[in-house]
Structure 1
């Protein structure tokens, strides 16, 4: 039968044996609607179940297959109810722990039962534990051999399991006999990787043969993986370029530097902007004069002065008679921007307002009316600015701070906010330094500038790692700092993604510290507090009425208390490096020497020690971001795991950075000469999820 390459994209997934209407609906949540979608829903990793590892030879965080007899299976009641099943072989014992389980499951795990399970050992209360491992009860070890080849692991959604999707992939591969996937890239790309056939690559990656190079596949370095990773990165680049072209096809106001107002603005400042701030401002000014929408990201480490740059950019816009919107992710950060912009711009005759959720209904109504009437020059706010009834008389510039905190399409909603139809310029800012490799792909539609210089007088924060066993000494250190009229943060972290548990942990810690530090005024902030309560505590801390602030990671962004010079972070091993760097940036904002104490748990893995060592060695946010990208992946670093923006199936921006120059060259050529091919590549990799790539 002759091959019909284009049919893959036209055939519904229901042609695959075993896919009915209900399963098709479940697959649609994964963006799988067609046979092509299913074939290109590639394994994002492999597990090695080709050999059984003796329990005594297990290594922390290294996934493995083990086999042993059940010793006991009991329900335990701790902070969370769990089923704890201990198995052992000749070399040692291991606990399998399940937080979701049934009575039938417990009954089947009776003592003496032979179990083969696959998991990743972590350190638990009893030693090494597997959390929710995949397991089988083995009746006859010789009749149930270990897997012959690597096992693929796919991205899932509720309603589908790994075994089910593996079965579907097997069925889909049978269709390749009749429908070859089309080759959209120039022949030299295949030659670069020594890959002749996309069909061969798909067959190999969904079902690696028994003689496949295990280490190479697990590392993502097999030529077939690299060929498809190249196309995936190209698809992301093309999507971003498409978004840029669409945005820049429109016209925005031509805005020149307001020299007189700028001189008056700078004359108010007790300092001179740094060279880096001046350079970045020059980039912005060139964009504002081009007559098409500016799309620029400004990266700057904690404390580098992004707010001043944003205010100077806003000055040029409002001097020309347009309005400016500044959106921040939290009310605390929005208030700080509001105070700064008011102090700088109101003496020059401009009106600054703010719009946040806590305003009374009448105050909000008046503010919204003033914005629509053009009586307000700058509006600073939170998510409240995205609401449908908030319209501007003439919006010339939208500034989004900590932009990765917002949803995929929220930044775009600001483009439709102008009553007179003006398309605003866009400036996005982040204090999370993003490695160049990540920015070149994840934000290819944005030009970007870096404020790579801290204002003079800032002192680097001295970071130390101290075991929880030395907690009493840390508390003594807090007492000494408070006696010197310095202020202190104590940050509580929790593994569980639960605001309730995090709040309870912070409350418990605050009580313990109040008992230990009876003469110290202690405040508490966590996500369960109402906005007004949280704000009252933060104001008291900023005013110096509180000496110690116990908080969850809600204080990560934007809190500016120059007198705070000591931070304690409990269990720092639970957070990513970028988040730790953001937290640490809350101290060292004045000229006094500042310290960050990372109070780690007793059982710290080698990898955790290595990660935390990075924090001790450097205060350079860009260096830390590179390490974080290597250890945690781009979705974690950018906070986009839930948004759909950064779902890479095969590509790894750190590993595959060497491809990016070729990708950009081929991508630019395709955009210029083969727009129909661009469309096909985007449909192959994003399909119905194209809307995620528009922001």
Structure 2
């Protein structure tokens, strides 16, 4: 079969400049792109269902004769038509209609309709069915009808016409099979594409909807291989670059002094990861290492240990955090550790302005500041480094790739700085095999000794007074507590308590307590003042939105109340829970939920109650929400899968790695074509 040359979509019937631009904005410029624009689901329009056999919830095609049609005035004005087919009658209801539409539905007109059946007051009915008048017999569809992913301005009928034309090109010439023949799961690429765009009437719908049909597995396998190869290609590119070789022996005195000043001994896991990083930094190629560690596992100390290796070799270190609260927490920790070592530290955030900012940027540019800690402010144009040897990125998924690239370009050195990426949101192994194949991964899988697990309880919001009493008991007993709200302003629709209103009500209920309030709309200086007071013990109860998700470390806080937890993802809930249990003694997290809980909401909260293990939580999060949500905004586009789904296709991942290894040993042009087919230009930004 001939190979399909690149053909622009403008070669298809009905594609003018406007539609071509809409398709281009959606990432479709060639006919081949349409072949890989695969349906989300399918409708069965291959048979006519008798009205008497209709079942509630089913999507069906029916034929019948209009018996009456009229406008009905109830709670909402609607056009109602009644059709019969000899076996029974069915109501068609339209809330949005025109006079011309009413005129079309004249009694005696024969219609073919498609839609979802629901039970109404007068029997079965369909809201806003698709329909057409039958002037003569019309054959039914020969294949299942695809429903495509879409964007504003392009309807399903347009997609079907476009993809149908693309299939006609497929009959003449096809994209080449790029996987080894033994791994294609009994489907050629062309056969899989043809089947998925136009499944036969007897195709197993349940299997197709689950994403487990062999044709889907064939394409999912190829897509996962392409993504894996793109990341491996990025890793190869990284290894061809140069970076300063930071000798370990020069840093030993500083590192020993740091560890000797601590009131504890680093865990075995921390020491193992420190050694892995030290080895990487000593090599003349850029380190790109991801350190995963559960909340409270000691990632910050590992980062400080690595920073000293760069500083001892005469280079600067930049630590970026996504929020001012987290950046401030790092500043306090590093200042306490590095002051005794006589290491210059500079702080830069959006609230550092005027003369203070000029002084800070001057210290960074001159090299006087060996350690620089900040937020997104580090990316701004007026910031330039003297000799940046190591970039540490905390909670990396909250930063975009372009932002990290911008910082590396400010390094002021001939090569590239090393990069250390930290996350307190453990990445499931299955996901890291696909999304982080370009990174070396280290795991701090051990918590400091003496750290007690946090006890998590699910409490209905109707028992709110009992929770308030529990807060009063904890705080009057000398401990501190958090009360987390998920919205700042009142919202009747979401039935969520606002932080401001909650703080006021709690102050009325607990007049003896000092209560602070933190939310995202406060000025940074106001937030910092409240957080400092809480850390100093001057505030007993901190009412906050999720801005305290990461970076807040108050050992005396032993109680966390999360209101409306069903509105948050598992990873975020786990992060919030990690704000307590950081000191000695028992700590508790109370999930104050609204009844009734949805099925997914109950699954999330139950997982929280069952486990404190971040990796278990991460696997459940992946299972419930999918990879795009779990990874957040990595912004490489690498997880915008067209057909592959995790965890549905987890079982393919071992095979993916084996196939990728085979292809890497073969023709580089095949690898290039495979990457281009599935990721396009997106892969160039990964692993920066």
TM-score category, normalised to shorter length: 0.7 to 0.9
Contact between 1:434 and 1:625, CA under 8 Å: does it hold in 2? yes
Q: Cα distance, 1:118 vs. partner?
A: 5.0
1:619 to 612, 616, 626: 612
Match of 2:180 in 1: 186
Match of 2:597 in 1: 604
Cα distance change of structure 1 residues 252 and 666 upon mapping to structure 2, 3 Å threshold: same
Match of 1:4 in 2: 2
- Structure 2 distance, partners of 1:465, 1:573, is 11
Q: Cα distance, 1:335 vs. partner?
A: 0.9
1:635 to 628, 641, 644: 628
2:204 paired with 1:213 = yes
Match of 2:167 in 1: 173
Q: Cα distance, 1:475 vs. partner?
A: 1.7
Cα distance change of structure 1 residues 273 and 231 upon mapping to structure 2, 3 Å threshold: same
TM-score by length of 1: 0.85
Cα distance change of structure 1 residues 532 and 159 upon mapping to structure 2, 3 Å threshold: farther
Contact between 2:291 and 2:420, CA under 8 Å: does it hold in 1? yes
Q: Cα distance, 1:302 vs. partner?
A: 0.5
> Structure 2 stretches of 5 or more lacking a match?
63-68, 83-92, 120-125
2:356 paired with 1:358 = no
- Structure 2 distance, partners of 1:162, 1:19, is 15
Q: Cα distance, 1:139 vs. partner?
A: 8.7
Match of 1:426 in 2: 419
Cα distance change of structure 1 residues 622 and 243 upon mapping to structure 2, 3 Å threshold: same
Match of 1:226 in 2: 217
Q: Cα distance, 1:408 vs. partner?
A: 2.8
Cα distance change of structure 1 residues 521 and 13 upon mapping to structure 2, 3 Å threshold: same
2:404 paired with 1:408 = no
Give the stretch that moved more between structures: 547-556 or 460-469: 547-556
Cα distance change of structure 1 residues 668 and 577 upon mapping to structure 2, 3 Å threshold: same
Q: Cα distance, 1:548 vs. partner?
A: 2.0
2:29 to 14, 26, 33: 33
Contact between 2:274 and 2:306, CA under 8 Å: does it hold in 1? yes
Contact between 2:241 and 2:415, CA under 8 Å: does it hold in 1? no
2:573 paired with 1:576 = no
- Structure 2 distance, partners of 1:167, 1:496, is 46
Superposition pairs of residues 290-301 of structure 1, within 5 angstroms: 290-301=283-294
2:367 paired with 1:374 = yes
SS at match of 1:602: coil
- Structure 1 distance, partners of 2:503, 2:61, is 43
Contact between 2:564 and 2:591, CA under 8 Å: does it hold in 1? yes
- Structure 2 distance, partners of 1:84, 1:279, is 69
- Structure 2 distance, partners of 1:185, 1:557, is 43
Give the stretch that moved more between structures: 431-440 or 282-291: 282-291
Superposition pairs of residues 381-400 of structure 1, within 5 angstroms: 381-400=374-393
Cα distance change of structure 1 residues 73 and 145 upon mapping to structure 2, 3 Å threshold: farther
SS at match of 1:14: helix
- Structure 2 distance, partners of 1:181, 1:74, is 54
1:558 to 543, 551, 556: 551
Q: Cα distance, 1:274 vs. partner?
A: 0.2
Instruction: Deviation per CA, 1:153-183: give whole Å up to 9, x if none.
Output: 4333333344432332222212212221111
SS at match of 1:616: helix
Match of 1:14 in 2: 10
Cα distance change of structure 1 residues 690 and 447 upon mapping to structure 2, 3 Å threshold: closer
Over the aligned positions, Cα root-mean-square deviation in angstroms equals 4.0
SS at match of 1:673: coil
Contact between 2:346 and 2:363, CA under 8 Å: does it hold in 1? no
Instruction: Deviation per CA, 1:375-404: give whole Å up to 9, x if none.
Output: 111101111111233221111111100000
Match of 2:193 in 1: 202
Q: Cα distance, 1:520 vs. partner?
A: 2.5
TM-score by length of 2: 0.86
SS at match of 1:418: coil
Give the stretch that moved more between structures: 531-540 or 430-439: 531-540
SS at match of 1:340: helix
Q: Cα distance, 1:672 vs. partner?
A: 3.6
Match of 2:447 in 1: 454
Q: Cα distance, 1:641 vs. partner?
A: 8.1
Instruction: Deviation per CA, 1:296-340: give whole Å up to 9, x if none.
Output: 000000010000000001111100111111111001101111111
Instruction: Deviation per CA, 1:415-474: give whole Å up to 9, x if none.
Output: 222223231111101000101111111011000000000111211111111112212221
Match of 2:85 in 1: none
Contact between 1:53 and 1:65, CA under 8 Å: does it hold in 2? no
> Structure 1 stretches of 5 or more lacking a match?
76-82, 89-95, 122-132
Q: Cα distance, 1:285 vs. partner?
A: 1.2
2:643 paired with 1:647 = no
Contact between 1:352 and 1:379, CA under 8 Å: does it hold in 2? yes
Cα distance change of structure 1 residues 496 and 219 upon mapping to structure 2, 3 Å threshold: farther
- Structure 1 distance, partners of 2:633, 2:149, is 16
SS at match of 1:347: coil
Cα distance change of structure 1 residues 266 and 487 upon mapping to structure 2, 3 Å threshold: same
Q: Cα distance, 1:144 vs. partner?
A: 11
Match of 1:491 in 2: 484
Contact between 2:325 and 2:552, CA under 8 Å: does it hold in 1? yes
Cα distance change of structure 1 residues 642 and 424 upon mapping to structure 2, 3 Å threshold: closer
SS at match of 2:562: strand
Contact between 2:399 and 2:634, CA under 8 Å: does it hold in 1? no
Contact between 2:277 and 2:306, CA under 8 Å: does it hold in 1? yes
Cα distance change of structure 1 residues 200 and 404 upon mapping to structure 2, 3 Å threshold: same
Contact between 1:74 and 1:84, CA under 8 Å: does it hold in 2? no
Cα distance change of structure 1 residues 422 and 642 upon mapping to structure 2, 3 Å threshold: closer
Question: Matched residue pairs, number?
Answer: 659
- Structure 2 distance, partners of 1:237, 1:694, is 12
Give the stretch that moved more between structures: 619-628 or 476-485: 476-485
Q: Cα distance, 1:57 vs. partner?
A: 6.3
2:313 paired with 1:315 = no
Match of 2:245 in 1: 254
Instruction: Deviation per CA, 1:115-144: give whole Å up to 9, x if none.
Output: 9755999xxxxxxxxxxx994276999999
Give the stretch that moved more between structures: 381-390 or 525-534: 525-534
- Structure 2 distance, partners of 1:569, 1:87, is 50
Cα distance change of structure 1 residues 151 and 605 upon mapping to structure 2, 3 Å threshold: farther
- Structure 2 distance, partners of 1:143, 1:485, is 82
- Structure 2 distance, partners of 1:402, 1:87, is 57
